Amino acid sequence: MGITYERKINYYETDRMGVVHHSNYIRFLEEARCEWLNELGMPFELFEERGITIPVLGVNITYKYHVTFGDTILIHTFMKEYTGVRMTVGYEVKDKKTGNIVLTGETKHCFTNRELKPINLKKHAPDFSKKYESIVEPKE
């Protein structure tokens, strides 16, 4: 189950050329990922209550188009891969007005305990694991 998160671009997120600075997109993806987890009924707070953290292992982004102050973007967030120990979340960001694809990307994560030791979600939170397994989108 993917979701689409809508976000308006703020002036302070742009660079001297008037376009969104590339580094801000990582923040936008995190906002969308948090909203996605909320929509799934598994907000970060629930993971933390169970002593589970979800660190980012890597970010891969391909920039395709730019947006500027005042534009609105739509961030489609979805599960690409899930193993119980790791997951890959996919993103497609579009300009709401033009429909142009602004970027495609993914973030890779693992699940750890509070001491940052890897854990298998299938054992530590089987209810979360089943939810993740049910929403992996098929590869194209």
- Pick the catalytic residue: 15, 71, 95, 127? 15
Is residue 127 part of the annotated active site? The answer reads no
Q: How far apart are CA 82 and CA 118, in angstroms?
A: 14
Token pair of 56 as six digits: 């980012």
Of 99, 55, 58, the C-alpha closest to 76 is 99
| C-alpha 68: how far from chain center | 21
83: which 2 tokens? 């193993």
Q: Indicate which residues carry an active-site annotation.
A: 15
